[in-house]
């Protein structure tokens, strides 16, 4: 771009205007020559400025032409996957990913949640919860009978969505609390960007608006999110007036009823082959910890009979006839009522497995092979004398499972089952190919915007801007559909930045992985470190735009 030069006048900072010269009397006599000289200077200056303006326009056109040349050359390389793409290291789908340095040799106590942490479920469970919840809405809360026709759509929801109780929108947020423009739904209809702007004024969710959002963070939220969207859409189609907050409250009440009533538990145990996944590696991991002198405890909100039935089924092919899964744990606590467990002062009760009753005697010690109900963190620490830094707790729910332990000084490990699948997608050449395309287009867009920072947008500029944005949108759309057609990846936005869900993992999880038994890949004395070059989440590899420049 041309650089506009400042003219230096030898007789002052600014040239005098002709009217000023006339009033000064310098136009008379010899002064007339001064005026003519000055007029000549002004004319010369105007000519120079005009030439510089033309040079500037030509420079802008040359810069835009260079960007178009790079873009056209890149598009030629977009025709096939570069061979160098295969040289980029693959990320381990079963790896342990570190947000905070962790020395396993300092960890003496390992604690575990049950559902979606020790227990692995099939996709059939979400359909079961969905069916039971919609029946409750119709039979108990008097929702229209037509709601019984709803079917669970496994392809629609992801974990980490937010529901706006004031406006009825189901959305995905990025790391900074802004709405993902192509991941905001009213019912099952995706809202356009103008519609989002009309509703919220801006994509960024402010503090007041955030008060109306509820996060859907655990694995059971899949059925909840889908049912909320289906009911909102049903009311819209039927032209029925409704309050979005009531929809959430009723659906959440139905989901909670499915769990607390035991309907889901009984359904799972009635056909464990359909819902539970057997896992001999889990037994190997727990035994490895015991053999290395570690203490183990189980802390779950589920009732004991459900945990016992599930553990027996999952481990029956690995446990010996005389072995019992309870012998692996120093303490077993069921119906703990997390997250209140971490802040309340509720007493522990000893549970009689044979009689299905709770004892009345005070619990001041955890005895071997006994089961305990309820309780609180304060009493738990008083009885066990386990210090925070020597404890790590594994759980799948960032708020119910991990926020409390994190604040109590425990180390935390988030179990995110979908991580394994998402890393496998990110490892594919097709995904990395689109990612590299996206990055080079982003770089060209930045350069193109810089060309008009001090000038006007030309026709050539607008044409190139439109082409770059179209190519960029294609890459975003392609990457998104590789994960989930409605909301994209769990951890990333469509542009490759971190999601709000990823932000919470940073907050509450020292490490995260897809399954607890992935720790078998590390010796019990290993030191786990945060990658030195991390810019986004540790498991995510950024493919450079240089892929299409060489």
Token pair 């694995």: residue: 219
Q: Closest Cα to residue 395, out of 411, 379, 384? A: 411
Tell me if 115 is assigned to a ligand binding site: yes
Strands 411-415 and 391-395: parallel
Q: In what order do the strands lie in the sheet with 295-299?
A: 97-98, 511-513, 411-415, 391-395, 109-112, 295-299, 331-334, 371-374, 348-352, 357-358
Residues with Cβ within 8 Å of 296's Cβ and at least 6 positions away in sequence, in order, are 109, 110, 111, 112, 286, 289, 290, 328, 329, 330
CB 391 within 8 Å of CB 111: yes
Task: Measure the CA–CA gap between 10 and 120, rounded to whole angstroms.
Answer: 84
Catalytic residue among 101, 115, 182, 243: 115
| 3-state SS, one letter per residue, for 373-441 | EECCHHHHHHHHCCCHHHEEEEECCHHHHHHHHHHCCCEEEEECCHHHHHHHHHHCHHHHHHHHHHHHH
Is 250 assigned to a binding site?
no
- Is 208 annotated in the active site? no
Contact assessment for residue 183 and residue 486, using Cβ atoms and an 8 Å cutoff:
yes
Residue 115 appears among annotated catalytic residues: yes
- In angstroms, the CA 260 to CA 392 distance is 27
List 62, 101, 105, 113, catalytic entry: 113
Residue 352 among known ligand-binding residues? no
DSSP letters, 225-245, are HHHHHHHHHHHHHTT----HH
- List active site positions: 113, 115
Annotated binding-site residue numbers for GMP: 115
Annotated binding-site residue numbers for Mg(2+): 113, 396
């Amino acid at each position: 771009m041309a650089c506009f030069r400042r003219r230096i006048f030898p007789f002052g900072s600014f040239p005098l205007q002709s009217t000023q010269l006339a009033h000064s009397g310098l136009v008379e006599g010899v002064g007339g020559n001064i005026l003519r000289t000055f007029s000549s200077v002004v004319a010369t200056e105007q000519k120079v400025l005009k030439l510089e303006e033309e040079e500037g326009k030509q420079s802008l056109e040359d810069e835009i032409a260079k960007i178009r040349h790079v873009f056209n050359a890149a598009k030629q390389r977009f025709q096939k996957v570069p061979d160098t793409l295969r040289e980029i290291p693959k990320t381990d789908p079963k790896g342990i990913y570190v947000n905070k340095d962790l020395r396993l040799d300092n960890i003496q106590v390992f604690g575990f949640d049950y559902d979606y942490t020790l227990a692995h479920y099939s996709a059939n469970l979400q359909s079961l919860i969905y069916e039971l919840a919609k029946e409750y809405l119709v039979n108990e809360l008097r929702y229209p009978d037509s709601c019984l026709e709803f079917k669970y759509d496994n392809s629609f929801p992801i974990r980490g969505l937010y529901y706006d109780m004031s406006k009825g929108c189901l959305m995905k947020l990025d790391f900074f609390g802004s709405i993902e423009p192509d991941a905001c739904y009213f019912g099952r209809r995706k809202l356009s960007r103008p519609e989002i702007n009309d509703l919220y004024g801006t994509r960024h969710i402010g503090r007041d608006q955030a008060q109306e959002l509820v996060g859907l963070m655990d694995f059971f939220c899949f059925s909840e999110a889908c049912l909320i969207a289906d009911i909102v859409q049903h009311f819209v189609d039927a032209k029925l007036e409704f309050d979005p907050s009531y929809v959430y409250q009723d659906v959440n009440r139905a989901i909670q009823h499915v769990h607390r009533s035991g309907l889901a538990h009984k359904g799972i145990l009635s056909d464990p082959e359909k819902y539970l996944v057997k896992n001999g590696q889990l037994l190997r991991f727990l035994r490895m910890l015991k053999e290395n002198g570690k203490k183990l405890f189980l802390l779950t909100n589920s009732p004991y009979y459900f945990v016992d039935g599930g553990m027996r089924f999952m481990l029956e092919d690995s446990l010996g006839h005389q072995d019992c899964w309870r012998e692996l744990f120093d303490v077993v606590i069921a119906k703990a009522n997390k997250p209140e467990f971490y802040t309340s002062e509720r007493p522990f009760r000893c549970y009689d497995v044979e009689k299905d009753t709770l004892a009345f005697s005070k619990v001041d010690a955890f005895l071997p092979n006994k089961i305990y109900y309820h309780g609180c963190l304060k009493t738990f620490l008083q009885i066990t004398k386990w210090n925070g830094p020597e404890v790590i707790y594994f759980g799948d729910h960032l708020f119910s499972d991990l926020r409390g332990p994190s604040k109590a000084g425990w180390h935390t490990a988030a179990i995110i089952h979908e991580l394994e699948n998402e890393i496998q997608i990110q490892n594919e050449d097709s995904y990395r190919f689109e990612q590299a395309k996206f990055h080079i287009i982003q770089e060209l867009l930045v350069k193109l915007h810089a060309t008009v920072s001090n000038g006007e947008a030309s026709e050539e500029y607008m044409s190139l801007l439109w082409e770059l944005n179209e190519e960029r949108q294609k890459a975003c759309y392609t990457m998104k559909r590789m994960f989930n057609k409605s909301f994209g990846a769990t951890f990333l936005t469509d542009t490759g930045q971190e999601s709000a869900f990823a932000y919470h993992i940073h907050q509450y999880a020292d490490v995260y992985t897809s399954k607890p038994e992935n720790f078998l890949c590390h010796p019990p004395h290993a030191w786990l470190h945060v990658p030195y070059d991390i810019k986004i989440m540790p498991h995510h590899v950024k493919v450079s735009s240089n892929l299409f420049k060489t």
